[in-house]
A and B are shown apart, each in its own frame.
Chain A
């Protein structure tokens, strides 16, 4: 802020003109931002408030404003399918984030060893991110289908005892979602960490090497602690992907077999838009929002506090 003022000071202009230009300069960013701001307030916070209102109403297949208190939330917590989808989100979210992080960091460290063809390899790992989750889901649906994909292929090759039927097993179907999602997103985590690794001052690493630290020790004690902000952004992005996950589950399992691999986003869609239970759908949307806030608020808090300390 202060530097820009210093830079604009030496320019000498007639007093009146300078005043109007200054005024414009002061107001221009606000003017330009105003429409975006307005749209954001209405389309994000406005609709959020509206969804909150709907979640307390008895809306069926069109919105109604007859308030019924916490009835929809009680119904929701009593709903077996909601419990299954929340538990699934927990399993899916934790595994997805953990595996993506471990794989992403591992790949990034390997790629950071000054190898040949790094650009090409990086692109190959990153590329799945460019594909829509719908495509990922459909492709993995074929690969994991016991009668079509992996199992059949290995059986045909002579390994007749090989069995891999998670996709059609209600106990395991949720883990197939983890496989497909990890396949798609770990490359992206790798790219984040690679950028982080490149940002570390080589002098520190050199110093540690001179002190006689081994490579694993350097990574464990020096490099990874330096990447704390990258960890944060990766976790935030991944948990968003997990919570809003809809297209992947729609394409891969459609929540099945039964509703064993249902996720809250799918639950919300089917109740609000196809089953005529808008109130219940809104209540589930609020629960999802609460989930996002539970992650976002501590993050924002730590970020803002960090700035103050600087």
Chain B
């Protein structure tokens, strides 16, 4: 009797385990390469994992630390070349096209049509995610890059008002300077120079010429008078920046605005995370406004996952489930609340978001219809990393070397872009 019970227990356990195993094998597993390793980002990754496991799929974390994802990309290249890529990897902008071009990416069209991605995603966004008119990647969020962050206390002290145009910006900056404070918090790193330059370029050139220059790389647009004007305006900013800025990280610059040492910062909406972490409230302790002269325009930066060809059919099924989950309204809400960005779905319920995110979403939708939604080249959405790097070099060199003229620099820009193509 006793023996019988034991065997039955054993067989029950065996059955259960084999069922469990079969279950797991049935449903497949995804390995996800990402660099969400800090605070809020890591929390978001955990949410995604949980949502997938609820559906019965396995999740194998493949997190590689290092903010910009440089080390992650090196690991990914090795894995991909050796024929063992992860199911999905955090790849952005034009790099998606390059990976797809080399034949590494799988298509998500089945899931895309079942989930009606065509209807919920703006065309500008979906075009970044497609290769050869097929979905190969999914977006997780939209960042607006052309933001101006301001400290109202500083403005009050200086008797200035939040600028909406470039001229107003100069007036306000002069007043803040006269009050003995730093008008513009800035970190002198190539990508931050580029971020500020991009906002001025959008204001000066307008969306159409901006696209011609930075997405189509039209030599006439790159060498235009408006481009010279952009460079000249860019240099006038220098007098409003403190001289310690070279090498400063962006979040330290944001902190200068938080503490009231500086009046403004031009930075993407990831800066909101810093204000939130310091316990500041939007509209009260800090103000988010469009970068001067770019109201109604939207430079977007999108984080996305590209999906690789897998050999195992079950894992491929899990991969499709991952794509579906990333774009689900629930994950979009949780993730973007943590990250400071806005959801990528046009039909998203925005009730949980703050005023800055609501403004951002409204501009996003309006810009999408008015054609003023443009990809950010400074964050790799408009062009290849080669061309991006070439423009970085020209912009940052001009900003730091007072001896070169704007016209010379524009010539240099045209040549640099051409040789990087």
Contact = CB atoms under 8 A, between A and B. Distances in A.
Interface of A: 60-62, 75, 78-81, 141, 145-148, 165, 167-168, 170, 253-254, 256-260, 270-271, 273-277
10 contacts: A80-B393, A145-B244, A146-B244, A147-B242, A253-B246, A257-B396, A260-B400, A274-B73, A275-B389, A276-B385
A255 to B, nearest CB: 9
Contacts of A256: 188-190, 246-247, 396, 400
A4 B385 CA distance: 62
Given A80-B397, A80-B412, A168-B246, A257 B385 contact: no
A270 B284 CA distance: 41
Given A60-B386, A61-B77, A62-B102, A258 B247 contact: no
Contact of B389 (A78, A168, A270): A270
B385 A275 contact: yes
A220 to B, nearest CB: 44
A167 to B, nearest CB: 7
B419 A75 contact: yes
B311 interface: no
Nearest to B419: A75
Can you list the 9 inter-chain pairs with the closest CB atoms, starting with the nearest? Answer: A258-B400, A147-B244, A275-B389, A257-B246, A257-B400, A168-B246, A276-B385, A258-B396, A258-B397
B243 A276 contact: no
Contacts of A275: 385-386, 388-389
Interface of B is mostly: helix
B400 A170 contact: yes
Contacts of B242: 147
B34 to A, nearest CB: 18
Contact of A78 (B73, B188, B399, B419): B419
B61 interface: no
Residue among B70, B388, B401 having the largest count of chain A Cβ atoms under 10 Å: B401
Contacts of A270: 389
Interface residues of B, number: 33
Residue among A62, A75, A260, A276 having the largest count of chain B Cβ atoms under 10 Å: A276
B188 A257 contact: yes
Contacts of A78: 419
Interface in B39-75: 68, 70, 73-74
A259 B396 contact: yes
A141 B98 CA distance: 38
Interface in B212-261: 242-247
Residue among A258, A273, A276, A277 having the largest count of chain B Cβ atoms under 10 Å: A258
A61 B393 contact: no
B262 to A, nearest CB: 13
Contacts of A259: 190, 393, 396-397
Nearest to B71: A273
B314 interface: no
Contacts of B189: 254, 256
B81 interface: yes
Nearest to A81: B393
Contact of B399 (A258, A271, A274): A258
Nearest to A260: B400
B245 A168 contact: yes
B407 interface: no
B320 interface: no
Contacts of A145: 244
Given A79-B419, A167-B246, A273-B73, 6 more contacts: A145-B244, A146-B244, A273-B70, A273-B74, A274-B70, A274-B389
